[in-house]
Amino acid sequence: MAQSDTVDRILDAAEELFADRGFSETSLRMITSKAKVNLAAVNYHFGSKNALIHAVFARFLTPFSATLESAFDDLEERCDGKPPTLNQTLWALTESAVRMPQRNEKGISIFMRLLGLAYTQSQGHLRKFLEQEYTESFSRFMRLLKEATPQLSSVDRYWRIQFMLGATAFTMSSSDALRDILQNKLGVETTVQEIAARLVPFLAAGMQAEDTVLIPPAGSNVSVA
């Protein structure tokens, strides 16, 4: 078996299974049998299941954060001085994601779903790992968002960023099975690019919504100006 073809086979299988079923619900035996590899190979090559999870993330997150950094470089250079707009920033992000060289056709959606899981499944070790490996790109994105929405208070911006992350991670992480609940026989097959193209305007509009009203409109129970 070539070099450590084994390592990649494990990563491929793990990536797909994790994306399909989550971390805790995916056993090493599922992974190794899908990868047609001996069970012990995971612990031999990675050390532990948690380390394997980290490796799966690192494999796509490291090149992605590099791509993203340079996209931000380009963007800031093009805007020289003036801060990029919200749309520009969001597009830079999604473009970087979409443009990433994919291992296969499912590449991006797996990528997105894993990110959603990382955020959603409370795996302490994963959070720590991601935090200490990729804070730089993340902080930079946050800074751009801040500069692009100077009209928002810190608190508003904070929550709206949460909402954006939520809509994104969640949409991407919702399994196919899940979509059936909504999928009212539209039956349209949609690429990740198309989803992103729909998502970005939604996010931008939400992010730039009129002032948050803390008290729901008094008069009629539920009318908002």
Partner DNA sequence: GTCGATTTCAAACGTATGTTTCAAACAGAC
Partner DNA sequence: GTCTGTTTGAAACATACGTTTGAAATCGAC
Binding positions for its own copies, 31-50, rule CB under 8 A: none
Among its own copies, DNA, none, residue 28 binds (CB under 5-8 Å by kind): DNA
Helical spans, DSSP H, in 100-123:
107-120
> How many chain residues touch its own copies (CB under 8 A)?
84
How far, in Å, CA of 204 to CA of 37, rounded?
A: 45
Q: Which of 38, 62, 70, 120 binds its own copies (CB under 8 A)?
A: 120
Q: Are 149 and 86 in contact (CB under 8 A)?
A: yes
Among its own copies, DNA, none, residue 62 binds (CB under 5-8 Å by kind): none
How many Cβ atoms sit within 10 Å of the Cβ of residue 9? 18
User: Nearest approach, Cβ of 101 to its own copies (angstroms)?
Assistant: 17
User: Nearest approach, Cβ of 26 to DNA (angstroms)?
Assistant: 7
How far, in Å, CA of 175 to CA of 52, rounded?
A: 22
Q: Which of residues 7-26 bind DNA (CB under 7 A)?
A: 26
Tell whether residue 6 is a contact of its own copies (CB under 8 A): no
Tell whether residue 49 is a contact of DNA (CB under 7 A): yes
Amino acid type, 104: N
